[in-house]
Amino acid sequence: MLSADDNRALTQTGRGTPMGEYFRRFWQPVALSEELAAPDSPPVRVTVMGEDLIAFRDSAGAVGLVDPRCPHRGADLFFGRNEECGIRCAYHGWKFDVTGRCVDLPNATPSAAFLNTVKITAYPTREFGDIVWAYLGPGAPPEIHALEFGLVPPASRYVMKKLQYCNWAQSIEGGLDASHFSFLHMPAPSLASDANPNSPAGEQRLRWIREDPQPAFSFLDHEVGFVYGAARRAAPGQLYWRTAQFMVPNHATTPSTQPGETYYGYTFVPIRDDACWIYTYAWNPERPIDPEERAKFPRGYNVIPEVDARYVPLRNRDNGYLQDRDEQKHRTFTGVRGIAEQDAMAQEGQGGGIADRTREHLTAGDAAIVRFRRVVLQGAKALAVGVEPPAASDAAAYTRRSGSAVERDDIPFEEMMMKRFGDTTGRANA
């Protein structure tokens, strides 16, 4: 369990909080590129780490992320006109470019000095991997994190986001939790697989996860976080390894990919302390995602959610995740369709938007959760006494993969990682 003080430090990301300042040293997703599809298209409201902002794409295609309040009399720029390389206030016509500089005051004849003092807060943005990222921290922004999904061609990736009504930390903890796979995402107990050794690999993997709900954990630290391996018993003399990456402060990858398959990952971005956006992405570094596979994503597949036009999951807390109790009794463990939706049900259900970690009773199966908390809390506390996070300026160290493998049970984790990825910590040669 955590102390109440550490739980607050972990979960609060507003400006001036230890975790909030830590997050602001790193680039954060603020919108999908598709939300700002064309130059001079309507602006989009953005709330990130408690800051209310608007994003807009100007006539030249650049994306601005700015304070929504006009400095004249406080009108909301969201209702303004996006035109001729700037957002123009609908109240009195004051106009601002993507840097926050005032470029027109049509209802006044101010001096040049006055014009130069009229500005709104604006944050640097970059587009990477079909996502608009912003840097909300002090000083010049570092190079953007080279997550592998953003390095492959557009035809080799798929990107989406979903709204989740709970704190960012309990969402990412769910993503790093290996032992829940033996329950939350399984068929009903009465349908447990009795696959024989010659059955398809996917069926074997499901059976190994189901039959061994107590994976043994191994960890390897790297420049921007850690990779873990969760080992389950497989065939005699073999272990089924599932590995996942955590990269500070809020990126993770899924553990099941085998060679040639598509990789999955996510970035967890606080909206406010009781809600977050989860940016999910699939990518294949070896080939384009084929049409049949791509067609699965809009309907919800793996951690890619099925969402409406506002990126709210169709199966959500307000409709009880459309849980089917007959389905739960006879066919699936939860009666909820979709891995992403099953995760949301568990994570949002932990209480009040922010879980009370002082009441937990952790076990060995929570080893990755404990390590994640230690890493980010250490980083935030170090920053609070003046130690900048070195990971923020190590963009290339974010190009990492994870996945699964079956190896002899006498091979240590580090050797298994080398055999599976050609690197002990899953660093990709992109």
CA 332 to chain centre: 26
Fold designation for 37-134: Rieske Iron-sulfur Protein (2.102.10)
Burial class of 378 by CB neighbour count within 10 A (0 to 12, 13 to 18, 19+): middle
- Token pair of 91 as six digits: 């109240």
d(CA 48, CA 26): 13
231-246 residue pLDDT tens? 999 999 999 999 999 9
Lowest model confidence (mean pLDDT) among 106-110, 187-191, 356-360, 389-393: 187-191
pLDDT for position 424: 97
Q: What is the pTM of this model?
A: 0.95
Question: Which residue has 């939300």 as its token pair?
Answer: 35
Where does the pLDDT of residue 191 fall: very low under 50, low under 70, confident under 90, or very high at 90 and above? low
- Token pair of 147 as six digits: 């997550």
pLDDT for position 199: 45
3-class DSSP assignment, residue 254: coil
20-47 residue pLDDT tens? 999 999 999 999 999 999 999 999 999 9
pLDDT for position 114: 77
User: Is residue 257 predicted with pLDDT exceeding 60?
Assistant: yes
In CATH, the architecture of 148-421 is Alpha-Beta Complex (3.90)
State the amino acid at position 233 in one-letter form.
R
What residue segments make up the domains of the chain, in order of their start?
37-134, 148-421
pLDDT for position 109: 78
- Average pLDDT rounded to a whole number, residues 369-373: 98
